[in-house]
């Protein structure tokens, strides 16, 4: 349940609402300016290589398509274990992220490796189903062997102000996760305002989410610098108030290594160095990994690389 510091805030929906609405507002223009300022950091040479390797280690390599097959998932797992076949020094990614029915395939494909199996659940991506259906979805994933569950919040309920319902659902899902760690997808593109992102972040953290996550990747805009800034501020503030560190996962629309490095700068300067770790920071992506590999090759070899030197999965 909610940490002791906030037990009162979640005692009922009305109190929870007052708490969430009492959080400081976010000035959109100011937040965007701060995010843009952080993007001017120039990360070169050894610092860049360090960042690229950390970024690789933070990737949740993802495939979430209707057309996914066991073959596709097996290929993804092979890539997750060995992202750059020509360079065994390349780190492995943090996890593979797929739909629940493909979890057993992924578990088999990653057997013996430290790469985790993360599954989306709760009627991903829309979240529009009964709680019973959503919990059954979680059970499938967990029973299939997933060690991480990425749930979606009910955005309709949130936008109606039914914060209690959203809270209760997260608590129920967390319980259904058992030992698996829970990421709570806020779908920030649908929440629309940074004030909502802040409130949803706090709501998810109070309800026990191990990670807060920006997006399903199916809605645009997904992860953006100002949204990421607000979420990193939330986990920072949560940690300062409770002593508990929760993670942030940025997903959707992050394709370039340059952007991944910028986000790492933001993590460091907003949340703190402790968050520069796959245990507290993830990047949900598919094409990003190849760009990270290409940039790593360029730093290593001193020449720009090309698509022939990374694998298609």
CB of 41 vs another protein, minimal distance in Å: 6
CB of 46 vs another protein, minimal distance in Å: 6
**DSSP class of 313:** -
Nearer to another protein, 32 or 101 (CB): 32
Q: Is 48 a catalytic residue?
A: no
Q: What angle do CA 231, 233, 238 make, to 5 degrees?
A: 95
CB of 221 vs another protein, minimal distance in Å: 16
For 138-171, give the DSSP string. Answer: HHHHHHHT-SEEEEE--HHHHHHT-HHHHHHHHH
CB of 228 vs another protein, minimal distance in Å: 13
Q: Is 249 a catalytic residue?
A: yes
- Out of 60, 84, 137, 150, the active site residue is 150
Nearer to another protein, 68 or 237 (CB): 237
Tokens of 282: 């993830």
Nearer to another protein, 22 or 306 (CB): 22
Question: Residue 69 and residue 74: Cα distance in Å, rounded?
Answer: 9
Q: Please, are residues 269 and 234 in contact by the beta-carbon 8 Å criterion?
A: no
Element of type H or E holding 265: helix 257-266
- Out of 174, 213, 291, 313, the active site residue is 213
Nearer to another protein, 34 or 155 (CB): 34
Nearer to another protein, 30 or 178 (CB): 30
- Out of 79, 134, 183, 249, the active site residue is 249
Q: Please, are residues 119 and 97 in contact by the beta-carbon 8 Å criterion?
A: yes
Q: Please, are residues 136 and 151 in contact by the beta-carbon 8 Å criterion?
A: no
CB of 48 vs another protein, minimal distance in Å: 7
Pinpoint the alpha helices (H) of 188-224: 188-191, 194-206
Tokens of 76: 């993804």
Q: Which residues bind another protein (CB under 8 A)?
A: 24-27, 29-31, 33-34, 40-48, 50-51, 54, 233, 264, 268-269, 273-274, 276-277
Q: Which of 76, 81, 77 lies closest to 91 in space, CA to CA?
A: 81
Active site residues: 150, 213, 249
């Amino acid at each position: 349940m909610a940490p002791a510091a906030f037990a009162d805030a979640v005692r009922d929906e009305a109190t929870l609402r007052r708490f969430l609405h009492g959080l400081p507002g976010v000035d959109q223009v100011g937040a965007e300016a701060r995010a843009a300022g952080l993007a001017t950091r120039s990360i070169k040479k050894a610092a860049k290589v360090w960042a690229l390797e950390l970024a690789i280690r933070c990737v949740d390599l993802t495939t979430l398509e209707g057309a996914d097959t066991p073959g596709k998932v097996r290929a993804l797992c092979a890539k997750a274990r060995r992202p750059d076949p020509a360079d065994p020094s390349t780190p492995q990614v943090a996890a593979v992220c797929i739909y629940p029915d493909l979890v057993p395939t992924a578990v088999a494909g990653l057997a013996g490796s430290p790469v985790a199996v993360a599954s989306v659940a709760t009627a991903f991506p829309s979240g529009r189903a009964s709680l019973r259906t959503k919990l059954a979805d979680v059970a499938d994933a967990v029973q299939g062997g997933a060690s991480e569950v990425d749930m979606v919040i009910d955005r309709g309920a949130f936008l109606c102000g039914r914060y209690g319902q959203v809270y209760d659902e997260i608590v129920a899902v967390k319980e259904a996760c058992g030992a698996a760690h829970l990421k709570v997808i806020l779908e920030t593109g649908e929440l629309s305002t940074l004030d909502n992102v802040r409130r949803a972040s706090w709501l998810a953290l109070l309800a026990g989410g191990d990670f807060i996550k920006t997006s399903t990747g199916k809605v645009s805009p997904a992860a953006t610098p100002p949204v990421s800034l607000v979420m990193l501020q939330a986990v920072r503030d949560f940690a300062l108030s409770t002593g508990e560190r929760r993670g942030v996962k940025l997903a959707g629309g992050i394709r370039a290594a340059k952007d991944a490095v910028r986000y790492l700068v933001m993590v460091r300067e907003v949340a703190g160095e402790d968050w520069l770790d796959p245990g507290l920071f993830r990047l949900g992506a598919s094409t990003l990994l190849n760009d990270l590999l290409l940039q790593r090759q360029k730093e290593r070899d001193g020449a720009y690389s090309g698509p022939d030197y990374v694998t298609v999965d």
